A = this chain, B = another copy of it.
Amino acid sequence: MKRLRIGVLASGGGTNLQAIIDSCERGEVDGDVVVVITNVPNAGAVKRAEEHGIEAYCFPHEGASREQHETDVAECLEKHKVDLVCLAGYLRMLTSDMVERFESRILNTHPALLPSFGGKGMHGIHVHKAVLNYGAKVSGCTIHVVTAEVDGGPIVLQKAVPVLEDDTPESLQERILKEEHKLYPRAIQLFAQEKVKIEGRRARIIET
Contact = CB atoms under 8 A, between A and B. Distances in A.
Nearest to A130: B115
Interface centre among A137, A157, A158, A159 (most CB of B within 10 A): A137
B134 A160 contact: no
Contacts of A204: 165
Interface string A111-134: 001111100000000000000111
Nearest to A156: B137
A203 B137 CA distance: 9
Contacts of A136: 113-115, 155, 158
A138 B116 contact: no
Interface string A29-51: 00000000000000000000000
Interface residues of A, number: 28
Interface string A182-201: 00000000000000000001
Nearest to A157: B137
Copies per assembly: 2
A134 B165 contact: no
Nearest to A131: B115
Nearest to A198: B135
A111 to B, nearest CB: 14
Given A113-B113, A115-B116, 4 more contacts: A113-B116, A113-B136, A116-B116, A134-B201
21 contacts: A113-B113, A113-B160, A115-B116, A115-B117, A115-B134, A116-B116, A132-B202, A134-B155, A134-B201, A135-B154, A135-B155, A135-B203, A136-B155, A137-B142, A137-B156, A137-B157, A137-B158, A138-B158, A138-B159, A140-B160, A165-B205
A-B pairs with lowest CB-CB distance, top 9? A160-B160, A135-B202, A137-B158, A138-B158, A116-B116, A135-B155, A138-B160, A115-B116, A137-B155
